[in-house]
Structures are given as C-alpha cells and as structure tokens.
Structure 1
Amino acid sequence: MVAGLKRRIDLNADVGEMDAADDAALMPYLSSANIACGFHAGSPLRMRETVALCKAHGVAVGAHPSYWDRAHFGRRELDIPADEIRELVRYQIGALQAVAAAQGVRVGHVKPHGALYNRSARDAVVADAIADAVASVDAGLMLVGLAGSESLAAGRRAGLRVAAEGFADRRYTAQARLVPRSSPDACIESTDEAVAQVLGMLSDGRVRASSGEDVALSVDTVCLHGDGPSALAFARALRSRLEGEGVEISAERP
C-alpha cells in the first residue's frame, strides 16, 4: 500500500474528439469528461452522442473550449485579443449546455483545450478572459486548470470553484508546466510510468520533472488524454490501482 494517498480523486479525459468507439470504451473508467465543443474537434452530433455516453455511465459533463483551429486540433497558439477569447469560450460553453439540457444533463465544469489551456496557464490576461466568460455563463461552473497556474488564480478572482489538474500521460518541466508537445519526451508511453506519476502526485504532492528533480504538484483531478494511443490501457490500469489502494474515483471536487 502507498502511504499518504488522497482518499478521493477525479479522473477525467478529453472526449468527443476522435473515434466514438474509443470514447465508449474509455467512459467506464472516468468520473468526469471534457467534451469538445466543435472548435478544435467534434460536432453537434458528436456532442449529443458523448453527453449520452456520460449520462449512461454517470460521468460528470464538462465543456472543453478551444481556439477556432480544427486544422491544427487547437494545439497552435493564436494571436487574438482577450475579448475575442472571452466570446469564443462563452459560445462553446453555451453550445454544449444546449445539447446537454436536451438530454436532462447539466454541464458542471469547463476545461480549456490545448494551446488555449497552456496560454491561460501562464498569461493572466487570457486566464481572466476565460474565467470571466465561465462566470458570466454560470457562476456555479467549476474551472479546471493546470495545477499552480494563472488559470486557477483567475478562476478564484472571478469567484469560481477551481480544480487543479495533473496529467498521467504528460511529463513536466522543473517549473511544474507541461513539457511542450514538440519535445520528444513530452508524452509518457509506459503504463507503469503513468501510474507511478499519478501515485506520486496523490501521495507526496510531487512529480518528477523531465530534468530529474522533484517538483511540488497538488492536484484535485487527473487527466488522461482520450486521443492517446494508450488511453484505455492507462485508464484501466490507473483506476484498478487507485481503487486497490482504497482511493475513491469521484467527480466530487473541492
């Protein structure tokens, strides 16, 4: 048994982006899901189908807004003003809310995607624009952002509940930021390594940086990328290990 583990953690994934069959296989292992709202991936039909999957499995539904950039899957940073970012986030949340409401499902959280997520982690102006958009749509929504980032600080300034996110399948820098995807060691491909990284976050509140040092990282939710080739294997192994350690997998976050 691992000493000092958190007794409860949320396990989330970004879904509605790729193959619907992959989402269906992954869903039983999650407690919350971030659904693509059409700007980087997905469509109104995929949103409807993915909400239905979440409902069937008791998985909490969240919006996953992005830059309008389907050609680059939302992973290219765009030089657009904060006012435009605020409106595109509002638009995408509203779209998912409408699709979810038609099925009697409430959208409970918002997690930006890709380049928008990473920019909001370091850029207070962009982070405030996103937080303001979320609060203006529904002040009861939770904002999910990178642990220790500007995104969470902006959410608190806007009066939102926030959830600090860690990643099972991404490596970290010494500054507790994600190693850029352009780096060959950005992603973790070993299931054992991914599980060990999460156990470190939940027991010691630390993660091993790619440069070798241990970095403080306190998390409320852990992400598995739904588009990753090993997402299902990671989710199955991680959930089995955490539940074996007596950790409850639940979307009930602070």
Structure 2
Amino acid sequence: MTFIDINCDIAEGFPYDQELMKYISSANIACGFHAGDHQTMRRTVKLALENSVKIGGHPGLDDRKNFGRKKRNISPEDLYSLLLFQFGALFAITKAEGGHLHHIKAHGALYHMINEEVDLAKAFCHSIINFDPHLTIYCPPYGQLHTIGNSFGLTIKKEVFADRTYRKDGSLVPREKEHAMITRKEEALKQLLLVITEEKVMCEDNTELALSGDTFCLHSDQPQAASFAKYLRKQLGNHQIRIM
C-alpha cells in the first residue's frame, strides 16, 4: 500500500467545499485577500476538523479583482507583512476552533513569483520562520522556494498537480492556454499514477519530465471538483494507493 496526500485550494467561494472535504487530506484555506472572508474561513476550518483534514493557509496577493492570479510588483518587506497578516487571521480562527495549522501554500501569481524571485522566496521563508518554523511549505519541486526553504531548514513538501499540465522546464502551462487545465478525470488519474509509480510526467510537447511529489493538488474552482476528487480517491484505492 502506498500513502499519499491530496491537497485542495479551498474556501475561495466555489460550491464544492463540503463535498470535497470527504475526499482530500489537506485543505489550503484562502486567507481573505484573493478570496474568502472571516466567515468562510471559520466554516472551512470547522469542515476540515470534522473530516480530519490537515489545515493549511493559502495566502495570496491583495487582488480580488483578478483572483490573485495576476503578477504585480511587491517588495519583500511588503510581502512579509502581507503574509503575516494572513497567517495570523487563519491561525486565530483555527485555534479558536480547537485545531492547529499544518502547512502553508501560496496562491496563484504569488505561488509563481516566490518560486522565481530569490528575494521574494526569502521573504516568504522568513515570514514562516518568524511565525511558526514548524509549518510545512507546499511548493513546486523545481525553483527558488524549494531550494531556499531547504537551505533554511524548513520542512518542504514537493507539490505536483493532478489537474494542471506541465512544460518541459517543470513549470505549469499558463492558465490562458486552452490545455492548461486537465478537465477529464481519467486524464488526471493517468497523470497522478505516472508521477506516483514512475516519478515522471508527460509535458505539453509530449516529452517526459522527471517529477516526484509529496503532495498532489486539486483545484476547487474546477467545475467538476467534487466528482474529480471522489473518482480519484476510488480509483487510486483500486491501485493500492491510499489518501491520508
């Protein structure tokens, strides 16, 4: 039996959160800037606790208009403060509900910015070190955050996406491309099984890329998010792969 973690970006205003919680093992809860609010955060924390799902922060840029998916200039100092603000809000709600924070995963444009820019990656790591150095970082296997986080002695979990396609440099195909999202659950399963069993992925140009993961992501904004998660959990179980 193989054991894996399935994480989901959640509490972002889509209608599948309650159903999704039945099939995932880590919840990346939006912290109120790119999406979500105090009530949504609390409701989602309670759902996670009821389903024994690990609670993580999903901080993003202060940009609701673009759902945090548009890159913008931000200094390392401003990013540091922005992150602490979001961590603190989710921490307070989680503690009040009797839970604890397990991990942090950046959202959208911020996810890519801290993976590409050294100073922003350092600011991200320093925010975690000074807030709670025991938090785990979910991040791409390639890039600045993985390298710098490891050098700082932080706990890093390599993230691979079940419902996104890859380029040969290890980056995700940009969302504006028609084939950026995997919309067929059978294709998502195929990609997951290839990464889990052979540690590789097929890229958009049909080349192979060495890729291994510690945690695997589904998006709650996928129109079939809940059915995706249910299908993947069942089919992975048929391959002796358990989500926990």
Residue 237 of structure 2 is matched in structure 1 by 243
Residues 189-224 of structure 1 show CA distances to partners (whole Å, capped at 9, x for unaligned) of: 111101100101101110000011000111000000
Which segments of structure 1 move beyond 2 Å, counting only runs of 4 or more? none
Residue 3 of structure 1 is matched in structure 2 by none
Residues 60-101 of structure 1 show CA distances to partners (whole Å, capped at 9, x for unaligned) of: 000000010011100011101111111111111111000000
Counterpart contact for 1:195–1:234, Cα < 8 Å: no
Could you tell me which of 126, 131, 139 is aligned with 2:120? 126
Counterpart contact for 1:148–1:217, Cα < 8 Å: no
1:74 and 2:68 correspond: yes
Aligned residues: 244
Residue type matched to 2:2 in 1? R
Residue type matched to 2:100 in 1? R
Residue type matched to 1:107 in 2? L
Residue type matched to 1:143 in 2? I
Residue 97 of structure 2 is matched in structure 1 by 103
Structure 1 unaligned runs (5+)? 1-5
Structure 1 window deviating more from structure 2 (95-104 vs 143-152): it is 143-152
Q: Find the aligned partners of 1:230 and 1:216 in 2 and give their Cα distance.
A: 28
Residue 8 of structure 1 is matched in structure 2 by 3
Q: Find the aligned partners of 1:45 and 1:64 in 2 and give their Cα distance.
A: 16
Residue type matched to 1:216 in 2? A
TM-score, length basis structure 2: 0.97
What is the aligned-residue identity percentage?
38
Counterpart contact for 2:233–2:242, Cα < 8 Å: no
Could you tell me which of 20, 23, 26 is aligned with 1:26? 20
Counterpart secondary structure, 1:164:
strand
Q: Over aligned residues, Cα RMSD in angstroms?
A: 1.1
Q: Find the aligned partners of 1:185 and 1:109 in 2 and give their Cα distance.
A: 29
Residue 54 of structure 2 is matched in structure 1 by 60
**What is the CA-CA distance between 1:158 and the residue it aligns to?**
2.3
Counterpart secondary structure, 1:53:
helix
Counterpart contact for 2:29–2:57, Cα < 8 Å: yes
